[in-house]
């Protein structure tokens, strides 16, 4: 435990139920800081839990960082061949939707951030990281220029992102009318096409979801190293209500699925998967609307459909994911991506390798899609 001004920090590799209990003191704590977020059997990444304590040993802030040795969820022959090389250049720390600061006193928040920077420095050295990357919570309404400046003062670069969040206190009719006409047309069309949506209930349905994920990955040029690797952990999260899966079927065949992270009154649309069984797959659109209705019916405060890089370009972006997400009518919230590079030479090599793998996987994905269309 180290001291920084009036606050101290401690770094742990495991926590008990008190971690989540403390998170729930904050309205902006999300699933991505919960103890359940990193339930995985992988040895290639692990969590670090940073707690900031006041002079009375009360928890005043929390940061959950994932230490990643290498990216092993997705695999391909080229990636496997260079896996040891990649590990040498890609060891990094990542956090999402944080830090979670419980104080509303601006002066204290700045001091807490400085304490978090001290903890970051220790993590950098102890785990010999190449880079640390963080994503500031879009739900924290006290994030301002002074807040961001603390990261800039400590060597972080900042990239502006946006996300689209629907206030679930609005009447469902108002939420429906705020979506684009095209979306409403496609939702009604999907119902006429007899696409059936159901909330996942069984272990076998979770297997179905994971197999769809595997098929989706192959169409992107990746292969899952083990499609069922984390099925037990996902099932535990589902039973706790912290992760929900909705499935869309056409003629009894699974064509789309959506995975939701649920915590502290916030629903986050974690991923939408589509198969290529249908030439025009409207399952994902119907799923998103169904989960918005479900979130409303189950008393959630916010629905975050996610977002992306904020662009100052005012030209038409009809083909981008960001444009699609904006159509759902949520309010635009600022969101920040922070990066601090410790080993610049290693980081440049990592970026080069990542670019080469992306080109390879894009090529393989196009080929897989072409072969699929022939069958």
Position 347 scores a pLDDT of 67
309 is written with which tokens? 């890089």
Position 73 scores a pLDDT of 44
Does residue 170 sit within a domain?
yes
Does residue 330 sit within a domain?
no
Is there a contact between 39 and 32 (Cβ–Cβ < 8 Å)?
no
State the DSSP H helix or E strand holding residue 293, giving kind and residue range, or none if neither: helix 283-297
Does residue 261 sit within a domain?
yes
Position 322 scores a pLDDT of 86
Same domain as 346, residue 312: no
Does residue 64 sit within a domain?
yes
Does residue 221 sit within a domain?
yes
Q: Render 228-258 in DSSP notation, one character per residue.
A: TTTHHHHHHHHHHTSEEEEEEEETTEEEEEE
Same domain as 175, residue 145: no
Same domain as 10, residue 156: yes
Position 83 scores a pLDDT of 56
Q: What is the pLDDT along the chain (375 residues), one digit of tens a residue?
A: 444 458 999 999 999 999 999 999 999 999 999 999 987 666 778 999 999 999 999 999 999 999 987 654 445 555 555 555 666 667 889 999 999 999 999 999 999 999 999 999 999 999 999 899 999 999 999 999 999 999 999 999 999 999 999 999 999 999 999 999 999 999 999 999 989 999 999 999 999 999 998 888 777 666 666 888 889 999 999 999 999 999 999 999 999 999 999 999 999 998 888 876 555 567 889 999 999 999 999 999 999 999 988 876 544 444 478 888 999 999 999 999 999 998 766 667 677 666 666 665 555 555 555 555 455
Position 275 scores a pLDDT of 79
Is there a contact between 216 and 275 (Cβ–Cβ < 8 Å)?
yes
Does residue 324 sit within a domain?
no
Residue 347 vs residues 55, 159, 231, 338: alpha-carbon distances, Å: 38, 17, 33, 15
Can you give the CATH number for the domain in which 200 is found? 3.40.630.30
**Domain span at residue 102?**
2-160+337-374
Same domain as 292, residue 279: yes
Same domain as 96, residue 26: yes
Same domain as 359, residue 271: no
CA distance 38 to 42: 10
Q: Domain count for the chain, please give it.
A: 2
Does residue 329 sit within a domain?
no
Smallest CA-to-CA distance from 140 within 115, 116, 106 is with: 106
Same domain as 351, residue 307: no
Same domain as 209, residue 137: no
Same domain as 171, residue 126: no
Position 315 scores a pLDDT of 46
Position 282 scores a pLDDT of 77
Does residue 89 sit within a domain?
yes
Q: Render 38-61 in DSSP notation, one character per residue.
A: T----SSEEEEEEEEE-TT--EEE
Sign of CA dihedral 154, 120, 42, 137: negative
Same domain as 302, residue 221: yes
Beta strands in the chain (DSSP E): 2-4, 7-12, 45-53, 59-68, 74-75, 92-95, 100-101, 131-136, 157-167, 196-199, 223-224, 243-250, 253-263, 266-274, 302-309, 331-341
Same domain as 276, residue 145: no
Same domain as 40, residue 77: yes
């Amino acid at each position: 435990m180290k001291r920084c001004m009036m606050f101290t920090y401690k770094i742990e590799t495991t926590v008990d139920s008190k971690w989540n209990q403390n998170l729930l003191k904050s309205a902006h704590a999300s699933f991505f800081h919960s103890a359940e977020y990193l339930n995985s059997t992988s040895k290639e990444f692990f969590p670090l839990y940073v707690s900031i304590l006041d002079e009375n040993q009360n928890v005043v802030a929390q940061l959950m960082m994932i230490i990643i040795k290498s990216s092993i969820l997705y695999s391909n022959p080229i990636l496997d061949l260079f896996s040891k090389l990649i590990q040498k250049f890609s060891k990094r720390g990542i956090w999402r939707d944080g830090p979670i600061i419980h104080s509303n006193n601006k002066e204290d928040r700045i001091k807490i951030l400085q304490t978090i920077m001290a903890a970051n420095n220790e993590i950098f050295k102890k785990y010999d990281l190449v880079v640390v990357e963080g994503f500031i919570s879009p739900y924290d309404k006290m994030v301002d220029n002074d807040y961001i400046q603390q990261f800039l003062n400590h060597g972080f670069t900042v990239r502006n992102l946006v996300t689209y969040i629907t206030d679930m206190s609005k009447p469902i009719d108002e939420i429906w009318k705020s979506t684009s006409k095209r979306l409403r047309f496609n939702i009604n069309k999907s119902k006429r096409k007899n696409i059936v949506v159901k909330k996942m209930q069984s272990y076998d349905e979770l297997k179905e979801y994971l197999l769809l994920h595997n098929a989706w990955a192959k169409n992107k040029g990746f292969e899952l190293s083990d499609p069922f690797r984390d099925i037990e952990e996902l099932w535990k999260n589902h039973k706790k209500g912290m992760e929900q899966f909705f499935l869309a079927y056409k003629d009894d065949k699974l064509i789309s699925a959506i995975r939701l992270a649920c915590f502290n009154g916030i629903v986050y649309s974690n991923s939408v998967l589509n198969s290529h069984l249908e030439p025009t797959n409207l399952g994902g659109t119907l799923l998103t609307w169904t989960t918005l209705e479900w979130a409303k019916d189950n008393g959630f405060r916010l629905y975050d459909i996610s977002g992306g890089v904020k662009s100052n370009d005012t030209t038409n972006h009809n083909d981008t994911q960001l444009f699609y997400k904006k159509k759902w009518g949520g309010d635009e919230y600022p969101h920040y991506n922070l990066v601090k590079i410790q080993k610049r030479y290693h980081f440049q090599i990592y970026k080069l390798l990542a670019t080469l793998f992306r080109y390879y996987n894009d090529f393989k994905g196009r080929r897989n899609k072409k072969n699929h269309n022939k069958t």
